[in-house]
Amino acid sequence: MVTTISSRLSIDGRSFEYDLKGNFSWGPDEVLYREDADVLEGTSLKSLGYANVPFLDETEQVEFKCRVKAVIDRIIAGIPQLHGQILPSLERYHELISDPDLHREVISQTRELRFTDLGLDPHMIESRIGGFLGVTLDSHVKRLGRDHIQLRISRPNSYDINPPHRDAYLDVWKNVLNLWLPVCGCSDLSSLPVLAGSHLINEKDVFRTSNSGAEIGENQYRVPGIADTRVGMTMVRPNPAANEVLAFTPFLIHGAAFNQDHSTTRMALEFRLEIEGQRY
Ligand SMILES: [Fe+2]
C-alpha cells in the first residue's frame, strides 16, 4: 500500500524530517555486498564503504568549473521563458532558476551528460582514481553501454534531494565505483551525506520502497528510497575538498543532501566508472 511517512535522519548531529511517499517494507534476509565478488574489498573503501581521493589540482579545478558554467549557460540560453537572461555565477543559480518547472527543465538535461560535454579526459580520470585505489577503472559502463556523468544541483532551502538509497539496487550500477566531485557551494552544510559502513547492512534491516516507487513532493525516483534501518539513519558528510573526489561503493546508503547554506546553490558532478573484475 502506498503511504506517505515522515522520515527522520540525522546528518553530522543535526536532525532532519521530510515526507517520503511509497510502498514500504523490510527487505529479505540477504546482504547484497559480497566479499567474493567485490574488488573494492581490497581497497581503502573496505570498512566504511567510502573515501575522499585526491583528484584535480588548482588549475584543473578552475578550468573544470568554467566548463560546467558553459554547459549550464548553454542549457539556460535554450529556455525561451528566460528571454536571454544570463546566469551571474553557478553559486547564484537559485536567483535565476527559482521556478520549479524551469529547474526541472534544466535538470532533465544535466542528468544525461557525457565526459565530452565537460571536456574531461576519461583516461586521465580512470588512471588517477584507479591508480590511487589500486584498481582498474573504465569510463565505459558495460551494462549501460556508454559513459555516465550527471550534474547535481541543490538550491538553498529546497527539496532538491534524492531519498537515501543504494545505487546497486539497480543491476546496471552493481559493478561501478561511484564518484561525487564538488563543483560549487560544497561544504559541511551541503555536501553529500552517507551512512558509513552501510554497504554491509542486511536487507532485512532496511525499510524501503520498491524500484521507481519513491516520491518526494513532485519528484519520483528510479532507485528505491530508504526510510529507515534497524541501526538508525545517522549520516555523515565526508565533504571532499576542492582537490578531492568522494569515491564510494554503489552498495553504500547515501542521499538526502539537504543544502543548509541559505545563500549558495550547491553543484556536484556525479559519475560512475566500471570496476574491472567486479562480478555481480
Ligand atoms: Fe545514488
Q: Which long-range contacts (CB under 8 A, 24 or more apart) does 209-212 make?
A: 209/20, 209/22, 209/23, 209/24, 210/22, 210/23, 211/169, 211/170
Superfamily for the 3-275 domain? q2cbj1_9rhob like domain (2.60.120.620)
Residue 30's pLDDT is what? 97
User: Which residues contact residue 2 at a Cβ distance below 8 angstroms, ignoring those fewer than 6 apart?
Assistant: 21, 22, 23, 213
Considering the chain, what percentage of its residues have pLDDT values greater than 70?
A: 100
**How confident is residue 131, by pLDDT bands cut at 50, 70 and 90?**
very high
- pLDDT digits over 68-105, tens only? 999 999 999 999 999 889 999 999 999 999 999 999 99
Residue 61's pLDDT is what? 94
- pLDDT digits over 172-206, tens only? 999 999 999 999 999 999 999 999 999 999 999 99
Q: Is the pLDDT of residue 262 over 80?
A: yes
How remote is the CA of residue 254 from the centroid of ligand 1, in Å?
6
Contact between residue 241 and residue 3 where contact means Cβ atoms under 8 Å apart? no
How remote is the CA of residue 56 from the centroid of ligand 1, in Å?
22
How remote is the CA of residue 263 from the centroid of ligand 1, in Å?
25
Q: Is the pLDDT of residue 139 over 90?
A: yes
How remote is the CA of residue 80 from the centroid of ligand 1, in Å?
31
How remote is the CA of residue 257 from the centroid of ligand 1, in Å?
11
pTM above threshold 0.75: yes
How remote is the CA of residue 51 from the centroid of ligand 1, in Å?
16
- pLDDT digits over 37-68, tens only? 999 999 999 999 999 999 999 999 999 999 99
How remote is the CA of residue 118 from the centroid of ligand 1, in Å?
20
Q: Is the pLDDT of residue 212 over 80?
A: no
Residue 92's pLDDT is what? 97
DSSP-based three-state secondary structure for 256: coil
Q: Is the pLDDT of residue 232 over 90?
A: yes
Residue 159's pLDDT is what? 86
Rounded to the nearest 5 degrees, what angle is found at the Cα of 56, between the Cα atoms of 53 and 61? 135
Contact between residue 33 and residue 41 where contact means Cβ atoms under 8 Å apart? no
